[in-house]
Amino acid sequence: MMQMRLLNLRNLTRRPFTTANDISDISKARIDKFKNQTHELIEQVAEYHKNIASINVKPDAKRNFLRKLVSSTPPAEPVGWETIQAQIKDIIIPNNSHWQHPMYMSWFPSISTWPAIQGEILSRSINAIGFSWDSSPLQTELELLCADWYAQMMGFPDYFLHEKSPGGGMAMTSAGDSVLNLLIVARHRRNAKKPVIYVSDQTHVHISKCAKALGYETRVIPSYFDEISQNYPMNVSLLPLAIKKDIEAGLDPIFACGTFGTTNSTAIDPIQQIGQICKENNMWLHIDAAYAGSALVCPEFRHLFKGVEYADSIVVNASKWMGLGFCASYMFIRDKKWLGDCFTMDPDYLRKSDDIDLGSLQLAFGRDNRALRMFFYVSQYGVSGVQSMIRKHVELAKILENLIKNDDRFEFCTKREFALLVFRMKGDDQKTTELIGKLKERKDIFVLGTKLEGRPVIRLSMNSEYLEEEHIHRAWEIIASLA
Ligand X SMILES: Cc1ncc(COP(=O)(O)O)c(C=O)c1O
Residue 182: which of 254, 282, 242 has the closest Cα?
A: 254
Stretch that binds ligand X, among 15-23, 53-61, 255-263, 455-463 (CB under 6 A): 255-263
Torsions phi, psi for 356 (to 5 deg): -135, 100
Q: Does 459 bind ligand X (CB under 6 A)?
A: no
Site string for ligand X, 55-94 (x = CB under 6 A): ----------------------------------------
Torsions phi, psi for 170 (to 5 deg): -135, 140
Contact call for residues 422 and 459 (beta carbons, < 8 A): yes
CB of 373 to ligand X, least distance (A): 15
In 175-270, beta strands by DSSP E: 195-200, 217-221, 252-259
327 preceded by a cis bond (ω within 30 of 0): yes
Instruction: Say which amino acid occupies 403.
Output: L
Burial classification of residue 262, based on how many CB atoms lie within 10 Å of its CB (0-12 exposed, 13-18 middle, 19 or more buried):
buried
Site string for ligand X, 126-165 (x = CB under 6 A): ----------------------------------------
Q: Does 108 bind ligand X (CB under 6 A)?
A: yes
Tell which positions 283-302 bind ligand X, by CB under 6 A: 288, 290-291
Q: Does 329 bind ligand X (CB under 6 A)?
A: yes
Contacts of 331 (CB under 8 A, 6+ apart): 169, 170, 171, 172, 178, 181, 182, 313, 314, 315
Stretch that binds ligand X, among 211-219, 256-264, 338-346, 396-404 (CB under 6 A): 256-264
Q: Which CB sits closer to ligand X, 171 or 400?
A: 171
Tell which positions 165-184 bind ligand X, by CB under 6 A: 174-176
Q: Which CB sits closer to ligand X, 177 or 357?
A: 177
CB of 105 to ligand X, least distance (A): 14
Q: Does 258 bind ligand X (CB under 6 A)?
A: no
CB of 350 to ligand X, least distance (A): 28
Selected from 136, 139, 263, 294, the binder of ligand X by CB under 6 A is 263
Q: Does 204 bind ligand X (CB under 6 A)?
A: yes
Cα-Cα-Cα-Cα dihedral of 366, 372, 374, 379, to 10°? Answer: 160
Question: How does 41-61 read in b/e, with b if 16+ C-beta sit within 10 Å?
Answer: eeeeeeebbeebbebbbbeee
Q: Which residues bind ligand X (CB under 6 A)?
A: 107-108, 174-176, 204, 206, 259, 262-263, 288, 290-291, 317, 329
